[in-house]
Amino acid sequence: MAEEALFQFLHHELVQYIYKTSENGDVENGRNITKLENLGFRVGQGLIERLTKDTARFKDELDVMKFICKDFWTCVFKKQIDNLRTNHQGIYVLQDNKFRLLSQLSAGKQYLDLAPKYLAFTCGLVRGGLSNLGVKSIVTAEVSVMPACKFQVMIQKM
Amino acid sequence: MAEEALFQFLHHELVQYIYKTSENGDVENGRNITKLENLGFRVGQGLIERLTKDTARFKDELDVMKFICKDFWTCVFKKQIDNLRTNHQGIYVLQDNKFRLLSQLSAGKQYLDLAPKYLAFTCGLVRGGLSNLGVKSIVTAEVSVMPACKFQVMIQKM
């Protein structure tokens, strides 16, 4: 419980720090999202190396995605992804019904605008993890009802 | 193992980010140390609240320090402080013989100069934790042989 909190607090401070040190405005907001995404990317790269140190080789792309939904997600958020869907053409949707980094925000609609800055790091995290498993992707996130969250992964064929 | 890594990677990226976005020079280095310390302070404040949610009231200052050395340290670094000393006049020295945030640096003397930026966050963490337990302090850190590290806590009588 408290160990999970360490990550949550640190993530929160990171978001605050990046936003505090930047100017206001939409352009700047976009830049901050990118910064958080890049930070998450590098953490994801490191983390997946540790996690897959002793795992068997993955069979295919779906196998990789399942690993992200189970082991990777559990390591970071102490729970698995609740639902994984795919169109079998390189698009995957990972749904977390109680996304930890949003669970401290009020669940009403009035804070929906604030959600993206709490999702960028995790988008990067997933992209970084996939990247080090040889899967190039674009990861975006979407919230309709807090604290549920959908991450969409679009695999980039190389 | 991998969960610990999450914190280590995130901490590392945070340090890199703060240093990357600032200019060079000694003044700026001091400012970065302060930023990291303040960030740690707020994380420590949050964390200690979670950790002490169900604990009994502390008997005295030493009791508080023991909690920091055991429960708090274990939560963050997955190990206890190896040695706690005090002069019984408000100075405590917490020694960690294998401090996690330094263990990825080469143990030679050539990187000793780099140590302070990897210690500032933790100094703040301890200060924040103590602060929310009603103990005002100044926390500094010192490394003589990596990855061993001593944190000195000077209690500020109010």
Q: How many residue pairs bridge chain A and chain B with CB atoms within 8 Å of each other?
A: 63
**A42–B1 C-beta distance less than 8 A:** no
Rg for chain A, CA atoms, rounded: 15
Under DSSP, the state recorded for A84 is E
- Render each residue's pLDDT in chain B as its tens digit; 158 residues: 667 899 999 999 999 999 988 877 777 888 999 999 999 999 999 999 999 999 999 999 999 999 999 999 999 999 999 999 999 999 999 999 999 999 888 777 778 888 899 999 999 999 999 999 999 999 999 998 888 999 999 999 87
Contacting residues of A for B13, CB less than 8 Å apart: 39, 42-43
pLDDT value of position A21:
82
Predicted-complex ipTM score: 0.90
pLDDT value of position A1:
65
Rg for chain B, CA atoms, rounded: 15
**A2–B75 C-beta distance less than 8 A:** yes
Q: Say if residues A151 and A76 touch (Cβ distance below 8 Å).
A: no
Cβ atoms < 10 Å from Cβ of A65 = 24
pTM listed for this prediction: 0.91
Q: A153: closest CA among A85, A101, A99? A: A85
Q: B2: closest CA among A80, A158, A52, A112? A: A52
> Which residue of chain B comes nearest to A20, CA vs CA?
B35
pLDDT digits (tens, 9 = 90+) for A4-53: 899 999 999 999 999 988 877 777 888 999 999 999 999 999 999 999 99
Q: A86: closest CA among A155, A18, A26, A134? A: A155
Contacting residues of B for A10, CB less than 8 Å apart: 7, 10-11, 14, 43
Nearest-10 Cα torsion for B131, B146, B21, B76: -40
Rounded to whole angstroms, how far apart are CA atoms B9 and A74? 17
List the single best residue of B7, B8, B10 to mutate versus A (max A Cβ within 10 A): B10
Q: Say if residues A34 and A119 touch (Cβ distance below 8 Å).
A: no
pLDDT value of position B15:
93
CB-side neighbour CA atoms (13 Å) of A15: 19
**B17–A21 C-beta distance less than 8 A:** no
Cβ atoms < 10 Å from Cβ of B134 = 10
Q: B7: closest CA among B103, B148, B128? A: B103
Element (H, E) at A87: none
Nearest-10 Cα torsion for B37, B95, B57, B89: -90
**Contacting B residues, span 113-152, partner chain A, CB-CB under 8 Å:** none
> Token digits for B158?
């109010």
